[in-house]
Structure 1
Amino acid sequence: MGSYTGLKVSELLRLRVCDVKDKQEIEIIRNKKVQIIKLHKELQSVLIEYICTLKNQSDEN
């Protein structure tokens, strides 16, 4: 994707599509501090797909 965001799967679990869709940045809490991650279109698309996949998997269980 070009740039490394350092996002961890555990940090993505709380995200919803509305947290990512049409946003330019998201806030992630790390070590009790808020870190702002800039979103470019490719990362935004991957995150939305990932969130939807997680939701579908949890709906199946």
Structure 2
Amino acid sequence: MDLDDFPKRQHDLVAELARQDLDPLSVAELTARIAALEAEVARTRRKVEGAVNHRASADALFRS
């Protein structure tokens, strides 16, 4: 996925993260970064799942 695939926002944190130079980081810092990013991915997945479930509930309500 290219950086151009992301929506353009004034403060696009994902694009900023992708541009950061990782060379100066130690293995411990890189490992901590991965853990933080994985936690954020999990949080985002839970949000998507909640939104999908909410939508399905609303759709079911209006079909009744």
TM-score (norm 2): 0.42
Which structure shows the higher strand fraction? 1
Which structure shows the higher helix fraction? 2
> Greater relative contact order (Cα 8 A, min sep 6): structure 1 or 2?
1
TM-score (norm 1): 0.43
